[in-house]
Amino acid sequence: MIDLHVHSTFSDGSLTPEQLVDEAERIGLSALALTDHDSLGGIPRFLRAAAGRSVRAVPGVEISADFNPGTMHMLGYFVGHEDDGLERKLRRIREGREERNREILRRLNGLGFAITWEEVKSFAQEDVVGRPHFAQALIARGYVGGKDEAFDRYLGKGKPAYADRWRLNPEESVRMIRESGGVPVLAHPFTLQRKREELWALVSSLREKGLEGVEVYYPEHTSELQSQYLALARSFGLVATGGSDFHGALAPDIRMGTGFGSLRVPPEAVEQLDARRPR
């Protein structure tokens, strides 16, 4: 059993890199990829924690790409986490996130929610502040009953407190990952909000730019979507990857390794990704 999509306290997860490795070993995972949002900050600790353990640690990242009307995230596996060029580009993305965060806070305050930046930041712990941390601040104040309500009413795209931010385009995201020695994989394709023919055309274009995989196995993919995405991967010679998108306490219904309980990511995906690394 493997999980190639988890988050730590260095983005919007509730567990430290060390705790993630401990949990992965406890439940019997053979491989785990840390894929924090636009951040490599947790990778050194993640790799140190896994040294000599039964869990293979895969250094990764999840990059937000500019895409409309849906959302595109690009996963990078085996990225060069000590690559200065990659870190500079991720820093620019994070700066865009910080600008967006200030605007979200301004909009929430304008809606009458008396939350402060210090409150929001307290939920982020190690590094990147994101919309889930605003949701936690709203929950703590009693303004909403849970994360889903916070996004559905205020923080989701098109909602009153939503603010956009600077991102790379999809092709730039693929190139950035490859230039660092990593393997680019399209995350949870359903969030792209594309019809089948449009999705096939998009993936064909990204494949030409260097895309190497697609996230087929994901908690929110129905059996029909999983079959569709598996066919998509096979059509373009892409690695069929997957993961739980584990965030810990921020999404308590999702468990590492198994998602909602039925997730099963083929263990051979790790070696297949490794074989696609730029040489």
Residue ranges, the chain, pLDDT below 50: none
Q: Is 55 helix (H, G, I), strand (E, B) or coil?
A: coil
Closest CA to 111 of 164, 165, 163: 163
Distance CA 5, CA 34 (A): 6
Where do runs of H (alpha helix) occur along 112-211? Answer: 117-122, 131-141, 147-150, 170-179, 196-209
Q: What is the pTM of this model?
A: 0.81
In the chain, what is the greatest distance between 2 CA atoms, to the nearest angstrom? 54
pLDDT digits 0-9 by tens, 169-197: 899 999 999 999 999 999 999 999 899 99
Q: Which helix (H) or strand (E) element contains residue 10? A: none
Q: Is 104 helix (H, G, I), strand (E, B) or coil?
A: helix
DSSP 8: -
The structure tokens listed for 121 are: 């930041």
Domain coordinates in residue numbering, the chain: 2-82+170-275, 91-155
Distance CA 80, CA 102 (A): 30
pLDDT digits 0-9 by tens, 114-124: 999 888 888 87
CATH 3.40.50.720 is held by the domain 91-155: no
Residue 116 CB partners (closer than 8 Å, separation 6+): none
Write the CATH number of the domain with boundaries 2-82+170-275. 3.20.20.140
Query: What is the reported pLDDT for 127?
Result: 58
Distance CA 131, CA 135 (A): 6
Query: What is the reported pLDDT for 126?
Result: 58
